[in-house]
């Protein structure tokens, strides 16, 4: 059970807070927003697969 929870949490997309921090630090906001979007899209595919694989 613990391994499943850790695996699913590690597969979670990066949060919008990364975009906020990059904006406040005056870093490349377009690059960060692309990374957040790509992470969310990957999570949409990857998390259901992990759920299926680890389902007892």
The predicted pLDDT at position 35 comes to: 92
Contacts of 32 (CB under 8 A, 6+ apart): 18, 19, 22, 23
Q: Is 31 left (phi over 0), alpha (psi -120 to 50) or beta?
A: alpha
Question: How far apart, in whole angstroms, are the C-alpha atoms of residue 16 and residue 53?
Answer: 28
The predicted pLDDT at position 28 comes to: 94
Question: Alpha-carbon Rg of the chain, whole angstroms?
Answer: 14
pLDDT digits (tens, 9 = 90+) for 2-56: 887 887 777 777 888 888 889 999 999 999 999 999 998 998 998 899 889 888 6
Question: How far apart, in whole angstroms, are the C-alpha atoms of residue 11 and residue 41?
Answer: 11
The predicted pLDDT at position 45 comes to: 92
């Amino acid at each position: 059970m613990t391994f499943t929870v850790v695996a699913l949490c590690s597969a979670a997309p990066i949060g919008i807070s990364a975009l906020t921090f990059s904006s406040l630090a005056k870093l490349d906001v377009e690059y960060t927003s692309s990374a957040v979007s790509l992470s969310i899209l990957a999570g949409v595919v990857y998390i259901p697969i992990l759920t299926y694989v680890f389902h007892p």
